[in-house]
Amino acid sequence: MDHFFNEEQIALRDLVRKIADDKVRPVAAKYDREGIFPWDLVKVFAEAGLYGVVIPEEYGGAGRGVTELAIVSEELAKACAGATLAVAASALGTFPIIISGNDEQKRRYLPDLATGKYLAAFCLTEPEAGSDAGAIRTRATRTGNEYILNGTKIFITNGGVAHIYTVIAVTDPAKGTRGTSAFIVQDDYPGFKLGKEEDKMGIRASATREIVFDDCHVPAENLIGREGEGFGVAMKTLDKSRPGVAAQALGIAQGAFDLALDYARKRIQFGQPIASHQGIQFMLADMATQIEAARALLYAAAHLVDSGAKNIAQLSAMSKLMASDVAMKVTTDAVQIFGGYGYMRDYPIEKYMRDAKITQIYEGTNQVQRMVIARTLIREAASKG
């Protein structure tokens, strides 16, 4: 696996792997069971500089890229996918500012996000706008030197624990997606309210909440870019963040595989380890092959994003699609290898299976990823005549 990375990236991987093994893994079951946000781990992540990985150096970050963020997400997710989101979801909420924010916005917000003093969240999904992101209804109306936001966002990762929210809202309903805009909203603005806190099947160490804007007052200078650019900001953000979801899924798959391989070597049935039976060997071989294939695609996508290439949507979607499908397949097989024990909460493997499922759903369902890939293929073919 080292051939994917340079020396600095390997050093980062080794640092995060140690944090995952020493700090995250021992408390993963507790946070999953209790469904509470891991503030103590946030401090650990902040002290290690993980929140600044993708933030430019001039704003207090490490100035690294999506590849490094993927490394962080993969290694943390091997231990706990929910805790991983304390870092990854903050990066998601920060991307719109990095991508389209002006210098004043970057100077005001990025330094505190880089140190982990504040966490960020990205607000796109609504009750009637899930896969159909263009159907958002949250409204932003300009009034003097501010915008008044009204509407509800749902399933917001880091909701209730973040201080900075990047929000996509409608400024001109007559223009469809070209009538949406992006805003930076703080949780202490008048009219910002926390709604329902979700009780989830998996990633239970991650905070997921409804965010309500009830005549929420947002300064006009918090508009990201120009009016009408919100949908574009959102799509550019997702193109950059999807390899991060792929990395989380890959970490889940690798973590589950490692446990299954160890168990298969030690579990005795019919007088010998179950790893000596061909049926189990074939399962392990397929799992390992699928993981390595997903890893190759993930880091190819991450490297493409970091290269500054414009056409990243297809490979980004492919990486998320493949890695999350692999995560679901590998974790299901891992539970099978554990047999009856795999179905019990006393063993950690069932958590990996529960955590894996969401990676096929959020930041664009895998059906949406296939649409993105197919449309890109068809468009490219048409351009060639």
Residue ranges of the alpha helices (H) in 307-344? Answer: 313-338
The verdict on 242 and 320 lying in the same domain is yes
Question: pLDDT tens digits for 142-162?
Answer: 999 999 999 999 999 999 999
One domain for residues 258 and 337: yes
Q: What is the structure's pLDDT at 144?
A: 96
For the record, the structure tokens of 381 come out as 């073919």
CATH number at residue 96: 1.10.540.10
Tokens of 47: 């002290």
- The first and second tokens of residue 124, run together, are 């796109």
Average confidence (pLDDT) over 286-315: 96
- The domain that holds 140 is classified in CATH as 2.40.110.10
108 and 130 in a single domain? The answer is: no
pLDDT digits (tens, 9 = 90+) for 356-365: 999 999 999 9
Per-residue pLDDT, averaged over 124-132, amounts to 91
Helix (H) or strand (E) holding 372: helix 366-383
Is the CB of residue 134 less than 8 Å from the CB of residue 120? Answer: no
In which band, very low, low, confident or very high, does the pLDDT at 285 lie, cut at 50, 70 and 90? very high
Query: Range of 294's domain?
Result: 231-383
Task: Identify the domain boundary among 228, 257, 277.
Answer: 228
Same domain for 56 and 183?
Answer: no
Residue range 100-120: average pLDDT? 98
My answer on whether 167 and 219 are in the same domain is yes
φ, ψ of residue 149 to 5 degrees: the values are -100, 135
Claim to verify: residue 341 and residue 259 sit in the same structural domain = yes
Q: Is the pLDDT of residue 4 over 90?
A: no
**Tokens for 369?**
């990823």
**Cβ atoms within 10 Å, residue 26:** 11
pLDDT of 1 over the 70 cut? no
Q: H or E segment at 209?
A: strand 208-219
Query: Within this chain, do residues 216 and 246 fall inside the same structural domain, yes or no?
Result: no
Residue 2 pLDDT more than 80? no
Domain end (from 177, 210, 228): 228
pLDDT in tens, 173-230: 999 999 999 999 999 999 999 999 999 999 999 999 999 999 999 999 999 999 999 9
* 82 and 67 within one domain: yes
- Verify that 202 and 265 share a domain, yes or no: no
Structural domain count, the chain: 3
Convert the pLDDT of each residue in 305-344 to its tens digit: 999 998 999 999 999 999 999 999 999 999 999 999 999 9
CA distances to 265, 284, 384 from 44, rounded to whole Å, are 34, 34, 51
> Judging by DSSP bridges, how do beta strands 208-219 and 146-157 pair with one another?
antiparallel
* Residue located via tokens 């930041």: 363
Q: What is the CATH number of the domain that holds 282?
A: 1.20.140.10
Asked whether the beta carbons of 199 and 222 are under 8 A apart, the reply is: no
Catalytic residues: 363
Measure Cα distances from 70 to 4, 140, 295 in Å. 12, 33, 10
Cα angle, residue 177 at apex, residues 173 and 179 outer, rounded to 5°: 45
Q: What secondary structure letter does DSSP report for 129?
A: B
Mean pLDDT of the chain: 96
pLDDT of residue 118: 98
pLDDT category of residue 134 using cuts at 50, 70 and 90: confident
Residues 378 and 236 in one domain: yes
Q: Which of 228, 247, 273 is the last residue of a domain?
A: 228
The reply to whether 23 and 97 lie within a common domain is yes
pLDDT at 310: 87
Assess whether 261 and 216 both reside in one domain: no
The tens digit of pLDDT for each residue in 17-36 reads 999 999 999 999 999 999 99
